[in-house]
A = this chain, B = another copy of it.
């Protein structure tokens, strides 16, 4: 554990990052359960196993789950990169934890707002709040490495 124990900021980042990866996995499981319950499959071979080709069809709530998941890909995956690099440019632990925690809480709220179709603009606000620490980290990293461009 040499590398991790030497860098508290990185360990803090890893904690929230892994929770968010698990959150994405849970979203995939929910999508699968909704497909089974609504009988709406993306592939004919899946429909055939669950009652017939008439269930090879789209469902609005399945599509909602898909959009929530793809939005996670667009935002959580870049965070996995930005947070790791940011941890290496020497931020204070308290400031760094604030970045990670805001992102984590806002992305959990984003998923909840998506799945429960909360009234607009709840989901959009969660998205914007989550982007603030990301843009902050991106700019701080650029300043730190600009000399090497």
Query: Which residue numbers of A lie inside 8 Å of B, CB to CB?
Result: 1-4, 8, 11-12, 14-19, 21-22, 24-25, 28, 42-46, 48-50, 64, 67, 69-70, 73-74, 77-78, 80-82, 85, 88-90, 114, 117-121, 123-124, 131, 134-135, 138, 141-142, 144-149
Contacts and interface: CB of A to CB of B under 8 A. Distances in A.
B88 A45 contact: no
A28 B118 CA distance: 21
Contacts of A85: 4, 14, 17-18
A104 to B, nearest CB: 10
Contacts of A81: 17, 21, 80
A29 to B, nearest CB: 9
Nearest to A19: B142
A18 B82 contact: yes
A4 B131 contact: no
